Structure 1
Amino acid sequence: MSEKSTISCQEIRTFPTSLLTVKILQARNIIVDDLSSGADCYVTLWLPTASKEKLRTRTVLHSSALVWNETFYFMIQNQVKNILELRIYSEDDLLFTILFDVAEVAPGERVHVTFILNLEKMKQLEVEFIMKENLDHLEKLITNDVLVSRSVSCLNVCVAKRNNKRYSKEEDNLALQVKGSYEDRWKTALESGLIECFHFHYPTYWEPELNAILQHCSSNGEQDEHRSFASLTLPLKLVSAGQEVKVALPVSEDTSLELRLHRQSCSEQLDMRLGFDLCEEEKAFLHKRKNVVSAALKSILQLKKDLLDHEVPVVAVMAAGGGCRAMTSLYGQLSGLKKLGILDCITYIGGTSGSTWAMSNLYEDSAWSQKDLGRPICKAKKHMTKNKINVFSLEHLISYQKEMTQRAEDGISTSFNDLWAVALENILHGRVNDFKLSDQQQAVNQGQNPLPLYVALSVKENHISTFDFKEWCEFSPYEVGFLKYGAFIHSEDFGSDFFMGRLMRKIPESRLCYLEALWSNILAVNFLDVWNCLSSTDESWQKLIQSKIRNIEESYVPPKSSTYLGTSWMCPDGMLFKIIRNVLTDCPLHYHIHNFLKGLHMHKDYYQDSQFSVWKDSQLDQFPNQLTPSEDDICLVDAAYFINTSCPPLLRKERKVDVILSFDYTPDNPFQSIEQTQKYCLEQGIPFPRILLCEEDMKNPRECYLFVDDENRKAPIVLHFPLVNDTFQKFKEPGVERGQYERTVPLSGHCSPYHLMNFRYSEKDFDALLKLTDYNIRNNRDKILKAISLAIEWKKMSGN
């Protein structure tokens, strides 16, 4: 039996639940140290898709034949991936962990499984499983075949606090808990004459319990969790939906505390989008932008007639990171595209790290690409050349702390990146800028500018390396989402609390500076390292910093004459040092934010879904209990921790990008990011041309390289622009030779001002880099138009 309907393009189906019976029978040959005796052993059971509680058997004492014969029950949904974790302990020492896919037990079956823990010594655990489908309990699910959102109920608990002399002497607390709920627990002081209500949201068919405990407080007001004088446990399956139930919690022989319970079903409408297609807002943008691109191409290519819809190519800019060097260079390249009339041919601009600073500045103007770029470039130049000695003045630091305090009160987890964000805002804008990511919608709502796309990496902090586990997180003015899971939320909801796809607590959208810091937080860590070297002698502090750092320009040693940020920002002594040290040591270095996937379960066939497999990055993907939906928070880092590129959003097959203008800003190894991108795409099965380079290219890179895969026209045509000073040494404009004594651009080496951590350029340095990148674009006009013409030809031949 199934029922189908559509809510926000998401399919709702109804499926029966099942009762899983797990009987832990016995273990054999579980001998620890003493060969003459067994171990004091017990087994724990954890099935996170059915309950947050970990169950356990009794402890069997000193026996080589460990017999339990204990039975446990789980109400499960077979449409999700149910992985039962069994752990065998000897006292408190973990001996073995077993992961069992419950799907191996079919409905109506009784299965006896012997888990071989050690083949040589025949250590084994015997377990019996019974699966019984429950057709009387149906559950509505919403899924994209990778993630599953389940039915959610809301329990309302109203506490009537009656007058009692005991309470006037001792302010005892009432603790309420529903394990596995979004709220988990509430606590309240028992003050006379008040009625207070609390909510618990939980998966309906988990059927958890409400635990109510009256607890004493010590004389200093601290709660003593071991001193309770009244408690109540109520299975929520006894509370029918829509009905009110009154429960008395006895306090003494003649006094009780009344709890009024009311349960209701939550809306089936999700506050997030589960799906791999583009959102409706982006589809509308593409329709409008196609008209702009078509008109521009007709003019530039001098076409006699308009291109048909299916003939209009999707051209994207793929900008890399590189601090202020990337920001300044991107301004120059976009200026060059504007002068050539090609900027109106661009549909997407992807950025990461420093390139996002230029993008976020430009998109404050809703018609920026239709205007001369001189004004935003002059504004950027003003802030790049100003003295930044006061960025961490005591006055500014106090204002930063006030803002971080307010963010904490709003429910936002603060970290070093908040300090980095407001400092970066001061550097780039010189003032508090209230602009937000969702405000950029005004710049694309008529298709008047390319759609900006930003990227970050979600990682597992501390216990798993970034190179062992990473997931792409995409940001646009419309949505923020995980590409691998096909889960997206409105950009204005990023940072708010979600549970099972429902918005639980709306938190005000952060200013854009906080996202800029997120997208470029590798700079924050490197700055932290520099400051630490200048000011700190604490060995443990130094070890903490060093464990966090991966400098993408490790070979660089700053010259004494550099305008290096570390020496221009910091005064390492006195009050300022103490305040900043407290801010940094009290908070993690990575960007943590509420996980909008929280509570969602993995679909039973998620690993076979082609969309999920495309973005598979590690073996951890085979362990659903450890994937991102199981986390309370997500940890985001700069994409440069993996690849210094903004490619993943642009390579989504739904966007159908035909031509990529790849802008690289690494002076020492200008092909590293494009080669890494090609390798990544090859491993993931994403169409991308081969990057073939000769030895001469590596020694003396040119301004532009064209990469085409003639055998696979699903692969984009790639034009790669390294950051090089090639013919610009002889020509100041395309075809115009420069004077004998005119200045060139030192991109690398100790004399170069364009190192990653330099946040202050001279006016000449800024202008030189801007003119170089502008020139490199305009000097390769013919190659760009050739790539676009080839894409049009391919699209005409394919007919779609």
Structure 2
Amino acid sequence: MSEKVTTSYQKVQAFPTWLLSVKILQAKNIRKADRCNGADCYIMLWLPTASKEKARTHTVLNSTAPVWNETFHFVIQSQVKNVLELKIFDERFHSSDDLLFTILFDVAEVCSGERILANFILNSERKEELDVEFAVQEHLGDLESLVTNNVLVSRPVSCLNVHVFKEKSMKKLKEENDLELRVNGSYEDTWKVALESGLAESFPFHYTTYWEPELNAHLQFTRQQQGLYQLRFKEAGIPKHCSSNEEQDKENSSASLIMPLKLLSSGKDVKVILPVSADSDLELKLHTKACSEHLDVRLGFDLCKEENSFLHKRKEVVAAALKNILHLKDTLQDHEVPVVAVMATGSGCRSMVSFCGQLSGLQKLNILDCITYISSTSGSAWVVSNLYKDSNWSQKDLARPIHEAKKHLTKNKISTFSLDHLIHYQTELKHRDEQGISTSFNDLWAVALETILHDKVDDFKLSDQQQAVNEGQNPLPLYLALNVKENQISAFDFKEWCEFSPYETGFLKYGAFIHSEDFGSEFFMGKLMKKNPESRICFLEALWSNTLAVNLLDDWNKLSSTDAYWQKLIRSKIRNIERGHVPPQKSTYLETSWICPEGMLSEVIRDVLTDRPLHYHAHNFLKGLHLHKDYCEDSQFSVWKDCQLDQFPNRLTPSEDEISLVDAAYFINTSCPPLLREERKVDVILSFDYSLDTPFQSVEQMEKYCEEQGIPFPRISLSEEDKKNPRECYLFVDDENKKAPIVLHFPLVLDSFQNFKEPGVKRSKAEMEEGTVPLAGCQSPYHLMNFTYTKKDFDKLLKLTEYNVQNNRDWILQAFCIAIEQKK
């Protein structure tokens, strides 16, 4: 078995496939919901790692002990996590079928060459049971070359090209879309072919090679042509799978072709003739070929080469700045240079103004050149994305961009939703839709936010920020969002960190990243299928700050300050149901489980609770990828796993067509996770918090989160006096764990600024009013939903945050010294 390592994590290996046989035997004591008599039962089988097709048994009518004895076969890859779903339905003839039970069975429980009989206890009180026999044996065929980072797996992809040769006589056909081509489970899924034009066309289908799917061709024509629908194969040795279906409409008839793609030899043409009239044929040419092994999704947890190059250049800048500010005799060696990061939370316009002040304070202390990373979200991200339009912003006076921010924040916003602007918004959204970009209500928020912050269309994009870091001249900006389940579940129960940089966008726990300019494009099995235009950065700014994406369940959780109830509710619906089977000792199989079906009322309640009025849709760049058989054991995945659904691979993000992204604040108001990646080796974090009422909540929640995940982070120890009367700056150091970053936390507080206009310079009596900043109370102008400040309120908040940084210069330098000493 050959193995090639492509990165420090990503591996390419070849493995055989296996044949899984599932024999549905019988069930016992199965009754309808009203318990009056037996159900009309059938079972649906779905193994998403083997096929998108769902198989089903026949229906056994009115029986409490239905017997099926039906066998189904699946070609599986043992290196991926194969979880078979068995759904037991009660068939209804005048309404939708009732789902009685869902069984999740991890195929890893069955060893190669083994045959086991599983008895599933569906309801112990009513003694409802299901017997299923499983067997796995070697499947003769080629080795399957897999690309994996031990969390995600990419499998080989083939392309079927269907070339349709049309004749001008096709105009006789009645329907505009006469020919339908479909390969279930392929990236394209279905093509509708208009035959009227008479032009030859080609239609590709990209599919997982070893799934062995089928091409379905459906042709509709007039009744006069009915006797000529016979499909003939020119190539010998190819079996014919053809059926005719007369529709209720007496004027029309149809013919169908079903072609198993495993019968086609790679690289060879197969021609199919479809006679549609006495003097006209429709010719199809089928051609399959293997796609390149190259992936456009980077599977790996290490940093990309562009970021590593940036770090090498930035170290020289940081070393020179530290030598100057700390008055060092010698320049620091590479291994002695600490990685310092600025972490800004979100709070709308409040965080925007505050972060402007803090960056100004750092610049006046000559500390900006000591910073390697800047992470942000929400309003702080608005500041960063605007600054990086200037490729040398940190070397220039920040007065100009601050003045620009002040101009827009203090202007009247009444015209934001004027008729002219609404027409412009509608045009923008229509244009995105025409480009193939998935749109949502969040896009309206984006163009409105662009008007609020810029008053003009800004063509700047995230990838354009590379010009501001290509020589290490500025810190590398990092942005953060949460991937959630749209209209299904609270962010407390499912959330995944998604980070953005000028170089890459990706998911931390999956170790999967794409080029930033490819975000919004369409992928399949790690390959770029359709390149869509990169969105203007205003659409990402709206994503990083979509303050209306919270749902009622999120609000409930925040009010209750705990999600224990909901976790308990989930756990109560999942339990072990298999009897009499002992799994292999060294196995990462998931316990066989069942999930209680929801009734109509509970579904309605769930929809109300979890509906998100504002979220960002994007094509899922993990689409098609599978979970590795040991994904739960991988240390990188384990660090970032955040929810009960992590134990259910069929429900995780790779199975989704789209991702739903919201503001990170709906879990923790922080942009810290990208800085905690082990590969970034961040030594010092300057934590800027903009909460008005809970100045330590975000950093305390981050400490708790890191403790649960096993991520190094210092202990946040606070006295009652600190909580009651917080100071301007706090230094947190973990002396026992040198891998934990040093955290300097700056809450948004009014402390010595009341009496000092500059560090060490007291206010005169006439200047005391300038030191009064109304942060507290319901009348504070700095509340979250306020998008218009007075010039006076803007200036007060700006000067306060700038002062709080400058007044704590000694704490910052002390943190730098501790970090340097630790690295030595």
Where do residues 778-789 of structure 1 align in structure 2 (5 Å cutoff)? 778-789=806-817
Alignment correspondent of 2:41: 41
Where do residues 733-748 of structure 1 align in structure 2 (5 Å cutoff)? 733-742=758-767, 743-744=770-771, 745-748=773-776
Confirm or deny: 8 A CA contact 2:522 2:621 kept in the other structure.
yes
Alignment correspondent of 2:244: none
The yes-or-no answer on 1:84 pairing with 2:84 is yes
The yes-or-no answer on 1:199 pairing with 2:224 is no
Query: Quick one: which amino acid aligns to residue 189 of structure 1?
Result: A
- CA–CA distance in 2 between the matches of 1:588 and 1:666? 24
Shift of 1:255: 5.5
Alignment correspondent of 2:563: none
Shift of 1:795: 1.0
Confirm or deny: 8 A CA contact 2:171 2:195 kept in the other structure.
no
Shift of 1:163: 4.4
Query: Quick one: which amino acid aligns to residue 183 of structure 2?
Result: V
Alignment correspondent of 2:595: none
Which stretch of the first structure deviates more once superposed, 665-674 or 115-124? Answer: 115-124
Confirm or deny: 8 A CA contact 1:273 1:488 kept in the other structure.
yes
Alignment correspondent of 1:456: 481
The Cα offsets for residues 425-482 of structure 1, whole Å up to 9 and x where unpaired, read as 1111121111100010111111111110000000001111111000000000000000
Where do residues 197-276 of structure 1 align in structure 2 (5 Å cutoff)? 197-215=202-220, 229-251=254-276, 256-276=281-301
- CA–CA distance in 2 between the matches of 1:350 and 1:721? 15
Shift of 1:249: 3.3
Shift of 1:126: 1.6
Alignment correspondent of 2:531: 506
**2:302 aligned residue (261, 277, 282):** 277
Alignment correspondent of 2:568: none
Alignment correspondent of 2:709: 684
- CA–CA distance in 2 between the matches of 1:553 and 1:344? 41
SS class of match (2:487)? coil
SS class of match (1:441)? helix
- CA–CA distance in 2 between the matches of 1:678 and 1:217? 70
Alignment correspondent of 1:771: 799
Shift of 1:485: 0.2
Task: Evaluate the alpha carbon distance shift between residue 793 and residue 182 of structure 1 in structure 2; reply closer, same or farther with a 3 A threshold.
Answer: same
The Cα offsets for residues 339-380 of structure 1, whole Å up to 9 and x where unpaired, read as 111111111111011100110111111111111111111111
Confirm or deny: 8 A CA contact 2:175 2:220 kept in the other structure.
no
Query: Quick one: which amino acid aligns to residue 145 of structure 2?
Result: K
Task: Evaluate the alpha carbon distance shift between residue 34 and residue 761 of structure 1 in structure 2; reply closer, same or farther with a 3 A threshold.
Answer: closer
Confirm or deny: 8 A CA contact 1:457 1:470 kept in the other structure.
yes
The Cα offsets for residues 284-327 of structure 1, whole Å up to 9 and x where unpaired, read as 11111111111111111111111121111111111000111101
Confirm or deny: 8 A CA contact 2:169 2:198 kept in the other structure.
no
- CA–CA distance in 2 between the matches of 1:665 and 1:165? 67
- CA–CA distance in 2 between the matches of 1:161 and 1:657? 62
Task: Evaluate the alpha carbon distance shift between residue 230 and residue 253 of structure 1 in structure 2; reply closer, same or farther with a 3 A threshold.
Answer: farther
Alignment correspondent of 2:193: 188
**1:703 aligned residue (724, 728, 733):** 728
**1:128 aligned residue (126, 133, 141):** 133
The yes-or-no answer on 1:61 pairing with 2:89 is no
Confirm or deny: 8 A CA contact 1:4 1:14 kept in the other structure.
no
The yes-or-no answer on 1:422 pairing with 2:447 is yes
SS class of match (1:508)? coil
Task: Evaluate the alpha carbon distance shift between residue 694 and residue 492 of structure 1 in structure 2; reply closer, same or farther with a 3 A threshold.
Answer: same
Shift of 1:10: 3.7
Alignment correspondent of 2:122: 117
Alignment correspondent of 2:160: 155
Instruction: Tell me the percent identity.
Output: 72
Output the aligned Cα RMSD: 2.3
Alignment correspondent of 2:425: 400
The Cα offsets for residues 80-117 of structure 1, whole Å up to 9 and x where unpaired, read as 00000111122122222111111111122222222222
The yes-or-no answer on 1:755 pairing with 2:783 is yes
SS class of match (1:725)? coil
Task: Evaluate the alpha carbon distance shift between residue 474 and residue 165 of structure 1 in structure 2; reply closer, same or farther with a 3 A threshold.
Answer: closer
Shift of 1:589: 2.3
The Cα offsets for residues 378-436 of structure 1, whole Å up to 9 and x where unpaired, read as 11112122222211111111111111100000011222211111111111112111110
- CA–CA distance in 2 between the matches of 1:355 and 1:108? 58
Task: Evaluate the alpha carbon distance shift between residue 397 and residue 216 of structure 1 in structure 2; reply closer, same or farther with a 3 A threshold.
Answer: farther
Task: Evaluate the alpha carbon distance shift between residue 13 and residue 130 of structure 1 in structure 2; reply closer, same or farther with a 3 A threshold.
Answer: same
Confirm or deny: 8 A CA contact 1:230 1:251 kept in the other structure.
no
Shift of 1:741: 2.6
Confirm or deny: 8 A CA contact 2:271 2:283 kept in the other structure.
yes
The yes-or-no answer on 1:138 pairing with 2:156 is no
Which stretch of the first structure deviates more once superposed, 757-766 or 180-189? Answer: 757-766
Q: How many residues align?
A: 741
Where do residues 320-469 of structure 1 align in structure 2 (5 Å cutoff)? 320-469=345-494
- CA–CA distance in 1 between the matches of 2:50 and 2:127? 31
- CA–CA distance in 2 between the matches of 1:486 and 1:5? 16
Confirm or deny: 8 A CA contact 2:442 2:546 kept in the other structure.
yes
SS class of match (1:660)? strand
Alignment correspondent of 2:75: 75
- CA–CA distance in 2 between the matches of 1:548 and 1:196? 50
Where do residues 541-560 of structure 1 align in structure 2 (5 Å cutoff)? none
- CA–CA distance in 2 between the matches of 1:35 and 1:313? 69
Shift of 1:786: 0.6
Which stretch of the first structure deviates more once superposed, 758-767 or 350-359? Answer: 758-767
Shift of 1:256: 4.4
- CA–CA distance in 1 between the matches of 2:815 and 2:135? 62
Alignment correspondent of 2:101: 96
Shift of 1:658: 0.8
Shift of 1:61: 2.1
- Which blocks of at least 5 consecutive residues in structure 1 are unaligned? 219-223, 527-544, 555-585
Task: Evaluate the alpha carbon distance shift between residue 696 and residue 621 of structure 1 in structure 2; reply closer, same or farther with a 3 A threshold.
Answer: same
Query: Quick one: which amino acid aligns to residue 762 of structure 1?
Result: T
- CA–CA distance in 1 between the matches of 2:411 and 2:297? 43
Which stretch of the first structure deviates more once superposed, 619-628 or 692-701? Answer: 692-701
- CA–CA distance in 1 between the matches of 2:664 and 2:515? 21
Shift of 1:268: 0.4
Confirm or deny: 8 A CA contact 1:173 1:217 kept in the other structure.
no
Alignment correspondent of 1:535: none
Shift of 1:549: 6.8
Confirm or deny: 8 A CA contact 2:669 2:698 kept in the other structure.
yes
The yes-or-no answer on 1:24 pairing with 2:24 is yes
Alignment correspondent of 2:339: 314
Task: Evaluate the alpha carbon distance shift between residue 27 and residue 552 of structure 1 in structure 2; reply closer, same or farther with a 3 A threshold.
Answer: closer
Task: Evaluate the alpha carbon distance shift between residue 684 and residue 68 of structure 1 in structure 2; reply closer, same or farther with a 3 A threshold.
Answer: same
Shift of 1:165: 7.2
SS class of match (1:326)? helix
- CA–CA distance in 1 between the matches of 2:648 and 2:700? 30
Where do residues 609-620 of structure 1 align in structure 2 (5 Å cutoff)? 609-620=634-645
Task: Evaluate the alpha carbon distance shift between residue 325 and residue 122 of structure 1 in structure 2; reply closer, same or farther with a 3 A threshold.
Answer: same
Query: Quick one: which amino acid aligns to residue 382 of structure 2?
Result: W
- CA–CA distance in 2 between the matches of 1:350 and 1:65? 60
- CA–CA distance in 2 between the matches of 1:449 and 1:637? 27
- Which blocks of at least 5 consecutive residues in structure 2 are unaligned? 92-96, 224-246, 561-610
Alignment correspondent of 1:221: none
Shift of 1:550: 8.3
Confirm or deny: 8 A CA contact 1:368 1:449 kept in the other structure.
yes
Q: TM-score, normalised by structure 2?
A: 0.87
- CA–CA distance in 1 between the matches of 2:627 and 2:78? 11
Confirm or deny: 8 A CA contact 2:549 2:663 kept in the other structure.
no
The Cα offsets for residues 694-737 of structure 1, whole Å up to 9 and x where unpaired, read as 22212211100111111111111111101111100000000001
